[in-house]
Amino acid sequence: MATRLGLGLPQMRQYSIGEDVPEVARAAEEIGYESLWVFERALFPEPATQGLYGIEGLPWPDQYRAVADPLVTLTLAAAATERAELGSSVLVAPLHMPFQLAKALATLDAASGGRVVAGFGTGWSLDEYAASGVRPFEERGKVLDEIIEVCRAVWGADPVAHDGPLTRIASAVVGPKPARPIPILLAAGNARAWRRLVDHADGWLPVGMGAGQIAKQWRRLRDLAEERGRTEPIRTVLRVNAAWQAKPYEGAGRGPFQGSADQIVADLAEHAEVGLDEILVDLQGTPRDAAQLKDVAAEVFEKARAAGV
C-alpha cells in the first residue's frame, strides 16, 4: 500500500498568506495529497541568542523572518478544502496557554468536520520562550504534560474539570466539542519524550534525517511501547524539510531531500521503506512563489506515486 503523503502549507515570508494558503491547499487536495501541515516559528531574533535548533553558529533561514501563525493558516486551509487532514508538525505547545489552545483546536476540528491532527513539540528557541513561553524553558516538559491533560479534558465529556499548576477548571461546560477525538502526535527524540508519547499520545512526528537513523529510532520506540504494555498502534508522520531546486544537485555531500524533484523522490522512496504511515513533504522554503510551489508539489507527488511511494 502506498504511503500517505502530506504537504506543508505556505507560511514563509515569500508568500501572500490570505491568497496563497487557500490556493495551495485546494491545489494540494486536487493533486492527491491527503493532509496539509503547518509548523510554528514565533519570531526571528536579531541578534539570535542561539543558532538554529540550538546549534551554535547555525544561522536562521531568512524565510523565518515572517512565518504565519499556524492555527490561522490551518483555518484558512480548512475553509478551502473538504477532505484533507489538517495537522501541525509542530506546534510549540508550551508557547500557548493550555485551555485556549485546547479550545482553538476543538473549534477548528468541529468547523472542519473532524480533520485536525494536533502535533505538539517543546521547541528549542530561548528567544521564543522569553517572548511567549507560559513557564521558563527548563519547565517545558511539565507544561507539555499539562497541555495534553487539558486537551483531553476539554475535548471530552462535560462537565470539564482540571486542577493543575497552569489551568484550573472547577466544573464547566466547554464547547464546541471536536467532531471526533483529536489525535495527539508528539515530536519525541529522547527517552523521556518517548515515554510521554507511549503513555499519553497517539503518534510520533520524526524528522527526516536519513532512513537508517529513522528506522533505528522507530524500532526503539516500538520496543519501549511493548515494554510499557501499550497495545494501541502508534501513528507515524515523518516530516521532510525538502530543499528543491530545478536542476539536479551535482555537488559532493548532498543531504537528504536536497536537489531536483527526482532526487527528492529517491530519498522519499528510501524513507518509505522504513514502514511509517505517512510522509509530510514541506517544499515551501525554496520556491519563489505559490505558483511554483504548486508545480513542484504536483511533480513530486506524481513521481513519488510512479516510484511506488
- pLDDT tens-digit series, residues 139-183: 999 999 999 999 999 999 999 999 999 999 999 999 999 999 999
Confidence of residue 195 (pLDDT cuts 50, 70, 90): very high
Peptide bond into 70 cis (omega under 30): no
CA triple 227-211-292, angle to 5 deg? 130
What is the average pLDDT across 184-193? 94
Residue 221 pLDDT exceeds 80: yes
What is the average pLDDT across 195-201? 98
Residue 201 pLDDT exceeds 80: yes
| Res 189: pLDDT | 87
As a whole number, the mean pLDDT across the chain is: 96
Residue 302 pLDDT exceeds 80: yes
CA triple 95-98-102, angle to 5 deg? 115
| Res 172: pLDDT | 98
| Res 252: pLDDT | 79
What is the average pLDDT across 64-84? 98
DSSP-derived pairing of the beta strands 160-163 and 168-172: antiparallel
The CA-atom distances, in angstroms, between 275 and each of 139, 146, 207, 278, 309 are 34, 31, 14, 9, 11
Nearest to 164 by CA among 188, 176, 147: 147
CB within 8 A of 49, min separation 6: which ones? 126, 127
| Res 71: pLDDT | 98
Confidence of residue 285 (pLDDT cuts 50, 70, 90): very high
Residue 253 pLDDT exceeds 90: no
Q: What is the 3-state secondary structure (H, E, C) of the chain?
A: CCCEEEEECCCCCCCCHHHHHHHHHHHHHHHCCCEEEECCCCCCCCCCCCCHHHCCCCCCCHHHHCCCCHHHHHHHHHHHCCCCEEEECCEEHHHCCHHHHHHHHHHHHHHHCCCEEEEEECCCCHHHHHHHCCCCHHHHHHHHHHHHHHHHHHHCCCCEEEECCCCEEEEECCCCCCCCCCCEEECCCCHHHHHHHHHHCCEECCECCCHHHHHHHHHHHHHHHHHCCCCCCCEEEEEEECEECCCCCCCCCCCCCEECHHHHHHHHHHHHCCCCCEEEEECCCCCCCHHHHHHHHHHHHHHHHHCCC
| Res 251: pLDDT | 79
What is the average pLDDT across 19-25? 98
Residue 121 pLDDT exceeds 90: yes
What is the average pLDDT across 192-207? 97
Residue 132 and residue 95 in contact, taking contact as beta carbons nearer than 8 Å: yes
- The model's pLDDT over 93-115, given as tens digits with 9 standing for 90+, comes to 999 999 999 999 999 999 999 99
| Res 206: pLDDT | 97
What is the average pLDDT across 238-266? 93
Peptide bond into 159 cis (omega under 30): yes
| Res 209: pLDDT | 86
Residue 224 pLDDT exceeds 90: yes
